[in-house]
Amino acid sequence: MTDAKTLSAETWDVVVVGGGNAGLCAAIEAAETGARVVILEGAPKVYRGGNSRHTRNFRCMHHGPLGPLIDTYDEEEFWQDLLRVTKGETDESLARHVIRQSAECLPWMEAHGVRFQKSLSGTLSLDRTNAFFLGGGKALVNAYYLTAQDLGVTVAYEATVKHVGIDAAKATHLEVDLAGETVTVKGRAFVLASGGFQSDLDWLARAWGPAAKNFLIRGTPYNRGLVLKDMLDHGAETVGDPTQCHAVAIDGRAPKYDGGIVTRLDCVPFSIVVNKDGDRFYDEGEDVWPKRYAIWGRLVAAQPDQVAYSIIDSRSIDLFMPSVYPPVTADTIPGLAQQLGLPGPKLQQTIEAFNAACRPGTFHPQELDGVATEGITPPKTNWARPIAEPPFYAYELRPGVTFTYLGLKVDLKARTTGPQGQYDNIWSAGEMMAGSILGQGYLAGFGMTIGTVFGRIAGQEAAAHVA
Partner 1 sequence: MSLDVSLQTDPGVLSDDPVMEARRQIEICNACRYCEGYCSVFPAITREKVFADGDITQLANLCHNCRGCYYACQYTAPHEFDLNLPRALASARAESWERLAWPGGIAKVFQARGEAVAAALVAGFAVMFALIAALPGEGEGFYAWLSHGAMVAIFTPAFLLPLAAIGVSLRAYWREVGGTRLTLADWREALDAAGRMKNLSGGQAGGCNYEKGERYSLARRHAHQAVFWGFLLCFASTSAGTVLHYVFDAKAPYGFFSLPKLLGVPGGILLTVGCAGLLMLRKQADPELGTPGRASGERAFVWLLGFVGLSGLVLYAVRGTGLTGPLLALHLGAVLTFFLLAPYSKMAHGFYRLAALLREAQDKRVRNG
Q: What is the contact surface with ligand FAD in residues (CB under 6 A)?
A: 17-23, 40-43, 48-52, 54-58, 159-161, 193-195, 218-220, 222-223, 226-227, 260-261, 402, 430-432, 445-448, 451
Residues 6 or more apart whose CB falls under 8 angstroms from that of 106 comprise 60, 62, 66, 67, 69, 116, 131
Phi, psi of 298 (to 5 degrees): -70, -40
Taking CB under 8 A as the binding criterion, the range among 34-42, 117-125, 359-367, 450-458 that sits at the site for partner 1 is: 117-125
Q: Give the pairing of strands 181-192 and 11-17.
A: parallel
Query: Quick check: bond before 107 cis, omega within 30?
Result: no
| 9 part of the interface to partner 1, by CB under 8 A | no
| 151 part of the interface to partner 1, by CB under 8 A | no
CB 363 within 8 A of CB 383: yes
Binding residues for partner 1, how many (CB under 8 A)?
41
Choose from ligand FAD, partner 1, none: what does 394 bind? Cβ within 5-8 Å by kind.
none
Q: Return the DSSP state at 280.
A: B
Task: Determine which residue in the list 329, 338, 348, 355 makes contact with partner 1, applying CB under 8 A.
Answer: 329
Identify the three-state secondary structure at position 77: helix
| Distance from the first to the final alpha carbon of the chain | 28
| 1 part of the interface to partner 1, by CB under 8 A | no
| 353 part of the interface to partner 1, by CB under 8 A | no
Residue 42 or 68 having the CB closest to ligand FAD: 42
| 367 part of the interface to partner 1, by CB under 8 A | no
278: left (phi over 0), alpha (psi -120 to 50) or beta: left
Q: How near is the Cβ of 239 to partner 1 at its closest, in Å?
A: 29
Residue 264 or 380 having the CB closest to ligand FAD: 264
Element (H, E) at 202: helix 201-208
| 260 part of the interface to partner 1, by CB under 8 A | yes
Residue 123 or 381 having the CB closest to ligand FAD: 123
Instruction: Render 227-261 in DSSP notation, one character per residue.
Output: HHHHHHHHT--EES-TT-EEEEEEETTS-SS--GG
| 142 part of the interface to partner 1, by CB under 8 A | yes
CB 200 within 8 A of CB 222: no
Choose from partner 1, ligand FAD, none: what does 42 bind? Cβ within 5-8 Å by kind.
ligand FAD
Residue 6 or 332 having the CB closest to ligand FAD: 6
CB 425 within 8 A of CB 462: yes
| 393 part of the interface to partner 1, by CB under 8 A | yes
Task: Determine which residue in the list 314, 338, 348, 355 makes contact with partner 1, applying CB under 8 A.
Answer: 314
| 138 part of the interface to partner 1, by CB under 8 A | yes
Distance separating alpha carbons of residues 117 and 127, to the nearest angstrom: 10
Residues in touch with partner 1 (CB under 8 A)? 46, 53-54, 56, 115-118, 120-122, 132-139, 142, 146, 253, 255, 258, 260-262, 264, 314-315, 317-318, 321-327, 329, 393
